[in-house]
């Protein structure tokens, strides 16, 4: 599976652990930056990742900023993207089982590399449960403004 990863300066310290964990699980990682600690604007990097998704260059996205909030707001504006900000393994698992989240968002100033790896692992390995959740996920695309 191809996974695009993008972050701002608030997420750049956490990114290597995320990229390593994805690669260890066989993902083909598209690292879209940022690559340094210089201050950048998180919407610019969220944009790179969602554009890669729309262009079918990846099947999933992982975004990282300081809190994960800005990246989540950006990604969830894009029809077809279901971004889940997860700070623990439970929410990561549920974001796949119930929400079919195709975008994982992490807070680089909230969690450390060990927990990030665990979250990424669960998120990559957990399938969508389907069933009653199919119709609910479909209704997301019918939200006003979509």
Query: Considering 7, 58, 65, 103, which one is annotated as catalytic?
Result: 65
Q: Before 137, cis peptide (omega within 30)? A: no
Q: Beta 28-31 vs 83-85: how paired, if at all?
A: unpaired
Site for ligand RB5 in 7-36 (CB under 6 A): 8, 10
Q: How many residues bind ligand RB5 (CB under 6 A)?
A: 8
Binding piece for ligand RB5, criterion CB under 6 A, among 28-36, 63-71, 91-99, 117-125: 63-71
| Packing angle of the helix pair 113-125, 89-97 (nearest 10 deg) | 20
Q: Does 67 bind ligand RB5 (CB under 6 A)?
A: yes
Binding piece for ligand RB5, criterion CB under 6 A, among 45-53, 60-68, 95-103, 122-130: 60-68
Listed in sequence order, the residues at least 6 apart from 143 whose beta carbon sits closer than 8 Å to its beta carbon are: none
Binding piece for ligand RB5, criterion CB under 6 A, among 12-20, 29-37, 44-52, 67-75: 67-75
Rg of the chain taking only CA atoms, in angstroms: 14
Q: Is 98 assigned a catalytic role?
A: yes
State in Å, rounded, how far the first CA of the chain is from the last one.
27
Q: Does 46 bind ligand RB5 (CB under 6 A)?
A: no
Active site members: 65, 98
């Amino acid at each position: 599976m191809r996974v695009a990863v993008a972050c701002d300066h608030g997420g750049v310290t956490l990114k290597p652990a995320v990229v390593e964990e994805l690669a260890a699980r066989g993902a083909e990682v598209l690292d879209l930056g940022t690559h340094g600690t210089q201050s950048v604007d998180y919407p610019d990097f969220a944009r790179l990742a969602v554009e890669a998704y729309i262009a079918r260059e990846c099947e999933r996205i992982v975004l990282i900023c300081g809190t994960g909030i800005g990246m989540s707001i950006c990604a969830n504006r894009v029809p077809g993207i279901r971004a889940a900000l997860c700070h623990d393994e439970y929410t990561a698992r549920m974001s796949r089982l119930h929400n079919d989240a195709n975008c994982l968002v992490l807070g680089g100033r909230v969690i450390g590399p060990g927990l990030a790896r665990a979250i990424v692992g669960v998120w990559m390995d957990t399938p969508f449960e389907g069933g009653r959740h199919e119709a609910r996920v479909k209704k997301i695309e019918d939200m006003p403004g979509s």
